[in-house]
Amino acid sequence: MTAQHADASFGGATRYILDEELAQIVNISMALEMPLLLKGEPGTGKTMLAHAIAESLNMPLIVLNVKSSMKLVEGLYQYDTLTRLNDSRFGDSQRNVSDIEEYIKMGKIGQAFAADKRTVLLIDEIDKADTDFQDDMLDVLDQMEFDIIEVDKTVSARHRPVIIITSNAKKDLSDPFLGRCNFHHIAFPDPKMMRKIIGVHFPSIHDELAENAIAAFYRMRDLEAVEKRPATRELINWIRALDADPDFKPKRLTKGDLPFLGVLFKKSGDYERASTFVNRRKIF
């Protein structure tokens, strides 16, 4: 797995706009075979990045969605004891009860390790889990192998997967864990970048609509004291809504007339705040 392969460098994908800095970081992490830890506001495309890498490098993507009660073993493999117990008591299955391996199922990390080709492994929202989860993961990431205790077998990665880890900073990650990752914080895209992102999602969109909508979107994002600020996802949906409305004229946006605010603001308090703000602007 030499990553200096000219064809193995990452440069963006069809539905993903990549800034150069991030592309460099991804490529360096891949070359150093280190996991890349991504932090950033919701809607900055942390998860999308893994999808984009998988698409552009033509690798299968394996996603491990971390849950708060998850133990690392669940990500590695599962020993289905209940089925085995059931089989041993009622004996109505094809499986050989004395062969424990028949009851071992690979988890997502296990699948990535056992895959025939290099994969992209996305460990999504790692901060949801306990610190134990991270601590246990250290060794696995370091050695790129883990043991299945029940059958005393070691699974080692046939190809080191490209590991992307995302975190929403619900909990701090432990220092030793951070030490094994490269780190990047994705800032919220600026309007120029946003225009490109919109262009990728709506290739045939009218310039006037896109620009006015983006300008209005950033104005609304600056609104003080909003619980959940609209992110890229909301903007895309909003533009889709505006585009679908046959009566809508993009000029109205510059005059402060913003329809479908509910697409941008999803909490009722935020919605009220936003609509009073908009109405006030309309009067003056």
Partner 1 sequence: MFLAFFYKLKEVGVPVSPTAFLTLHRALANHLIATLDEFYTASRSILVKSERYFDLFDQVFAYHFQGIELPDVEGLEIDEMARAMLEQWLTDPKVMADALGIDEKQLNRMTPEELIAYFKERLKEQDGRHDGGNKWIGTGGTSPVGHSGYHPGGMRVGGVSRNKSAVKVAMDRRYKDYSLSGPLTQAMVGEALKRLRNMVPAGPKDQLNIDESIYRTMKNAGEIEIAFDRRMKDRLKVILAIDNGGWSMEPYVTVVQTLFDYARAQFKEVRTFFFHNTIYNTLWKDSARYRQPVTMTELVGMDPETRFIVVGDASMAPYELMSRDGSIYVQDRSGKPSIECLRMLAHTFPHNAWLNPASAIMWNYTRTINMIRQIYPMFELSIDGLEKAVQHLMAA
Q: Does 83 bind partner 1 (CB under 8 A)?
A: no
> Which tokens sit at 195?
């225009």
Q: Does 268 bind partner 1 (CB under 8 A)?
A: no
For 98, other C-beta atoms within 10 Å of its C-beta total 8
Q: Does 149 bind partner 1 (CB under 8 A)?
A: no
> Which tokens sit at 177?
């864990």
Q: Does 89 bind partner 1 (CB under 8 A)?
A: yes
178 or 251: CB nearest partner 1: 178
Among 21, 142, 207, 208, binds partner 1 (CB under 8 A): 21
* x-or-dash string of contact with partner 1, 91-130, rule CB under 8 A: ----------------------------------------
Q: Which amino acid is at 133?
A: F
Which are the contacts of 95, defined by CB distance < 8 A and separation ≥ 6? 83, 87, 102, 103
In whole angstroms, how far apart are CA 172 and each of 61, 130, 131, 167? 26, 10, 9, 9
Distance CA 96, CA 91 (A): 9
Q: Does 72 bind partner 1 (CB under 8 A)?
A: no
Terminal Cα distance for the chain, rounded = 63
Question: DSSP alpha helices (H): ranges in 115-186?
Answer: 131-143, 175-179
Distance CA 77, CA 107 (A): 4
The minimum distance between CB 182 and partner 1, in angstroms, equals: 4
Q: Does 85 bind partner 1 (CB under 8 A)?
A: yes
Distance CA 236, CA 240 (A): 6
Site residues for partner 1, window 159-218 (CB under 8 A)? Answer: 169-171, 175, 178-179, 181-185, 187
Distance CA 221, CA 265 (A): 10
Q: Does 25 bind partner 1 (CB under 8 A)?
A: yes
4 or 94: CB nearest partner 1: 4
For 153, other C-beta atoms within 10 Å of its C-beta total 13
171 or 201: CB nearest partner 1: 171
Q: Does 37 bind partner 1 (CB under 8 A)?
A: yes
Site residues for partner 1, window 234-263 (CB under 8 A)? Answer: none
The minimum distance between CB 138 and partner 1, in angstroms, equals: 13
Q: Does 151 bind partner 1 (CB under 8 A)?
A: no
Q: Does 31 bind partner 1 (CB under 8 A)?
A: yes
> Which tokens sit at 53?
């890498």
> Which tokens sit at 146?
């883990």
Interface positions with partner 1 (CB under 8 A)? 4, 21, 24-25, 27-29, 31-32, 34, 36-37, 39, 41, 69, 81-82, 85, 89, 169-171, 175, 178-179, 181-185, 187, 224-229
